[in-house]
Each structure stands twice: as structure tokens, then as C-alpha cells.
């Protein structure tokens, strides 16, 4: 037999309203009363009817997350973090992958019209501003990833230029000077590959090192095979770097495989830095130094943006502000019609740049 709020109230000796306040996490409940009600909930095994709760609010209780490729470990790990963050707000997450194709991205945004989701977290690659401006009026939209739009949507992304500069600075401080960049692709100024290339160029210039464009290796995609092909092409062209900064960990791992096949040692001959801090990079024969975006913060901010907008809490902030931080370590830059929230990142120094010393 299903336990009701009334059952919990009688067991705790309080009103149904008090139990409801505790279950719905309203702040104006004393710690003692909250503990008393929670004890009754635990004793009876009460579980809230989330579907009914969302329906009373005119919601479905579902947030959608659309990313370019769920097979990419970065997006898989991020999806897990989004699911965890959504669960804290009693939301379920519907996953979709767009394959980075414009028609798939459009299809996802048009899903709002069906009213099957309450909000969408989208990592767009191909959509333009006019695509997004036209069609998500039925619910809040949050953008993740590096493409930026002057539109009334929250945008959550780390500072890619600063992160790339941090990676290159680490290599320069180790005495490396011929630092290759693996991962050039396209010329859109808002694409992450372009931003990370700008960071590579900027840090080299700041340290008085000439940025040798012959050490910039383009890629067809973002996987291990693409990194292997890019590294092989670089070496076949007679270019021998003493360090590599890779667009992501998968490209770095593919490049390291080719180095091993060509008799190059990591990091003695070539130091390597990746990007994303994938679990895979921590368990190779040579562990991978990498830039680690705060994926949990990205997920938390995205979900909180959706939930806040559904509750009407973010509308004023979205119209702009003074750009001040919020004190939680998350940088915020506001202006125009959107908020840009900047989660942090960290450089994880491991064996691919420090050798065996990194094990200590």
C-alpha cells in the first residue's frame, strides 16, 4: 500500500502542510522539525510521486540534453554529471546526440513544440543565431560548448583561450620550444578548436617564442584515429616537435600511439598535453597531462539555469548586469541578452610531461 503525506504527518505528529514543506525542500522549516519529519519519512519508506508533483506545476519533469556525440567519453561523462545534477532537483534527463549535424540540432530545438520536455541543454556545432532565435519559445534553453550567440539564453563554457594558454605555459616552463598543436579544424572564431589555437599562439607570443605554423596539424574529427593521422602527417612532413598540445585527450592518445611506433619516447622526446581529463588518460602506460574542465560545475550550472528559469528566478539576470562574480568560484560575464557562466578548469600534471616524477 502506498504511503501518503497524511500517513507521514500522522506518524510524525505534524500537519500535512509541514510534511509537504519538508518534501518540497522549502527553506522556512526549522532543523528540528525537518529532522522529525525526515525520520517519519524514513520509518514509513515514503516516496514522493514526482510525476504528480510536476503535473501540478504544469511540467513534465524531463530535461533534454543534446550533445554532438555520446560515444565521445567527454560527452558521456558530462551526461552522467547532468543526470546527477538533475536528480537533485527531481528531474529526469532525456539524452540525444546530434552528430554535429544542423538538421539534427534543429530537430532537437523543435522538440519544444511537442511539450514533452521542460527545458533543453544543447551543445550546438552547426546552428546559427537565426536558427536559435526562431524556435524555442515553449521552454528554457541553455547552451553549453564554445559557440557563443547574442541571444537570450544562458551560455556555459570554460575560457578556452585561457585554458590553452595554461597548457602551453606548462610546456614552455619545462623548456619545450617546438610545441605542435594537433586539432586545427575550420575557421569559425567561436569554435573550440579555433579558440584553443588562439591560446597556443598567444602564449607562445607572450614568451617570445615564434609560433611555427608548420607545427599546426589539422584533423578530420576528434577521435584517437584522427590524432594518430595528424601526428603521422606531421612526422612524415619532417616536422619533429618536442611537445604536443592536443585539442582533446583522444587526439593526444592517438598521437602518443604513433610516437611509440616511431620510436619516440613520451615525455623524454616529446611531452604531451591533452584536454578534457578523460578517465582513459589516467590509466595508459604513460598517464596523460591534461586540462580538466570542471564538468560537474558545467552540469550543475546548466541544470540550475533550466530550473531557475522555470521558476522565473533568472529572468532579471538574463537582461544583463555588472559582470561581477557570484563568490562561488564561477565567473559570470553578463551583457546584451544572455549570461555567460564560466566554470573553472585545472591543469592535471601527469607522466606525459613530467615522467616518472609525476607518480609521486
CATH number at residue 98: 3.40.50.2300
Q: Are residues 265 and 177 in the same domain?
A: yes
Is residue 336 a part of any domain in this protein?
no
Q: What is the structure's pLDDT at 278?
A: 96
Q: Are residues 279 and 309 in the same domain?
A: no
In the predicted structure, residue 293 carries a pLDDT above the cut 90? yes
Tell which wins on pLDDT, 326 or 103: 103
Q: Are residues 150 and 100 in the same domain?
A: yes
Is residue 332 a part of any domain in this protein?
no
- The number of folded domains in the chain is 3
Q: Are residues 11 and 147 in the same domain?
A: no
Q: Are residues 169 and 260 in the same domain?
A: yes
Is residue 320 a part of any domain in this protein?
no
Q: Are residues 88 and 148 in the same domain?
A: yes
Query: Where in the sequence is the domain holding 26, given as residue range(s)?
Result: 5-48
Is residue 323 a part of any domain in this protein?
no
Q: Are residues 165 and 287 in the same domain?
A: yes
Q: Are residues 171 and 251 in the same domain?
A: yes
Is residue 340 a part of any domain in this protein?
no
Q: Are residues 144 and 168 in the same domain?
A: no
User: For position 37, which CATH number holds?
Assistant: 1.10.260.40
Is residue 261 a part of any domain in this protein?
yes
Q: What is the structure's pLDDT at 327?
A: 33
Is residue 224 a part of any domain in this protein?
yes
Q: Are residues 231 and 353 in the same domain?
A: yes
Q: Are residues 81 and 138 in the same domain?
A: yes
Q: What is the structure's pLDDT at 324?
A: 32
Tell which wins on pLDDT, 58 or 300: 300
Residue-wise pLDDT for 326-352, tens only, equals 333 343 444 444 688 999 999 999 999
Is residue 338 a part of any domain in this protein?
no
Residue whose cell numbers read 594537433: 182
Question: 54-63, 227-236, 253-262: which has the minimum mean pLDDT?
Answer: 54-63
* Closest alpha carbon to 89 in 318, 234, 306, 325: 306
Tell me the average pLDDT across 212-235. Answer: 95
Residue-wise pLDDT for 35-84, tens only, equals 998 998 888 887 766 555 554 555 678 999 999 988 899 999 999 999 99
144 vs 68: CA distance, rounded Å: 11
Q: Are residues 237 and 355 in the same domain?
A: yes
306 vs 313: CA distance, rounded Å: 10
Amino acid at each position: 500500500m502506498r504511503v501518503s503525506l497524511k500517513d507521514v504527518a500522522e506518524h510524525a505528529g505534524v500537519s500535512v502542510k509541514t510534511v509537504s514543506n519538508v518534501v518540497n525542500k522549502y527553506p522556512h522549516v526549522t532543523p528540528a522539525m525537518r529532522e522529525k519529519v525526515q525520520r517519519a519519512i524514513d520509518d514509513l519508506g515514503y516516496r514522493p510521486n514526482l510525476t504528480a508533483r510536476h503535473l501540478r506545476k504544469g511540467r513534465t519533469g524531463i530535461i533534454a540534453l543534446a550533445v554532438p556525440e555520446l560515444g565521445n567519453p567527454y560527452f558521456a561523462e558530462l551526461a552522467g554529471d547532468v543526470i546527477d545534477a538533475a536528480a537533485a532537483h527531481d528531474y529526469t534527463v532525456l539524452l540525444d546526440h546530434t552528430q554535429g549535424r544542423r538538421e539534427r540540432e534543429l530537430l532537437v530545438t523543435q522538440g519544444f513544440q511537442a511539450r514533452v520536455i521542460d527545458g533543453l541543454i544543447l551543445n550546438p556545432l552547426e546552428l546559427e543565431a537565426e536558427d536559435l532565435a526562431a524556435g524555442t519559445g515553449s521552454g528554457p534553453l541553455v547552451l553549453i560548448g564554445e559557440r557563443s550567440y547574442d541571444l537570450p539564453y544562458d551560455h556555459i563554457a570554460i575560457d578556452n583561450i585561457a585554458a590553452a594558454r595554461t597548457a602551453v605555459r606548462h610546456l614552455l616552463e619545462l623548456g619545450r620550444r617546438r610545441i605542435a598543436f594537433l586539432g586545427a579544424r575550420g575557421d569559425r572564431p567561436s569554435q573550440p578548436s579555433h579558440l584553443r589555437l588562439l591560446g597556443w599562439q598567444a602564449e607562445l607570443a607572450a614568451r617570445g617564442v615564434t609560433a611555427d605554423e608548420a607545427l599546426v596539424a589539422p584533423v578530420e574529427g576528434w577521435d584517437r584515429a584522427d590524432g594518430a593521422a595528424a601526428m603521422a602527417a606531421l612526422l612524415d612532413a619532417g616536422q619533429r616537435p618536442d611537445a604536443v598540445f592536443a585539442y582533446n585527450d583522444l587526439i593526444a592518445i592517438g598521437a602518443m600511439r604513433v610516437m611509440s611506433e616511431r620510436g619516440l619516447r613520451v615525455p623524454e622526446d616529446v611531452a604531451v598535453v591533452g584536454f578534457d581529463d578523460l578517465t582513459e588518460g589516467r590509466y595508459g602506460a604513460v598517464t596523460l597531462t591534461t586540462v580538466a574542465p570542471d564538468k560537474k560545475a558545467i552540469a550543475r550550472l546548466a541544470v540550475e539555469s533550466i530550473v531557475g528559469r522555470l521558476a522565473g528566478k533568472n529572468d532579471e539576470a538574463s537582461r544583463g548586469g555588472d559582470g561581477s562574480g557570484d563568490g562561488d568560484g564561477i565567473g559570470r560575464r553578463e551583457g546584451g541578452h544572455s549570461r555567460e557562466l564560466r566554470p573553472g578548469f585545472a591543469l592535471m600534471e601527469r607522466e606525459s610531461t613530467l615522467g616518472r616524477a609525476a607518480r609521486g
